[in-house]
Amino acid sequence: MAASTDYLDFILDQLSNWKTIITKRMFGCVGLYADGLMFGIIAKETIFFKVDETNKEQYLNAGSETLTLFKNNSTVASFYEVPIEILEDSDQFVVWAETSLEIQKRKNEV
């Protein structure tokens, strides 16, 4: 199920003081891009950010789940659900988004 327009608008509003965000609809999800790199995915009215060994623990400590694809129910271990308390705090939400974008930048330097 694709994200509703209201949910997408809320996410973009929370990130509006950070960077220009480009959205791309794909496979029933919405990819969030900044600086040409995908750092987040919206699926089923839930936002997921890119993780690696530098930030995965904070998601696990918050009880976050990995992204699960709809059709085959497989997980995408590099994207974790953003905790609701982070999502609702626009300043913290931007910090977590920036961390995810930096992960993508490092990955693309290799």
Tens digit of pLDDT for each residue in 26-49? 877 899 999 999 999 998 889 999
What are the residue boundaries of the structural domains of the chain, listed by start? 5-109
Strand partners, 71: none
Instruction: Quickly list DSSP for 14-40.
Output: HTTTT---EEEEETTEEEEEETTEEEE
Backbone angles phi, psi at 91, to 5 degrees: -65, -45
Strand partners, 43: 46
Tens-place pLDDT, residues 44-64? 889 999 999 999 999 999 999
- C-beta atoms surrounding 43 within 10 Å: 22
Which CATH number is 5-109 given?
A: 3.30.1460.30
Average pLDDT over residues 4-29: 91
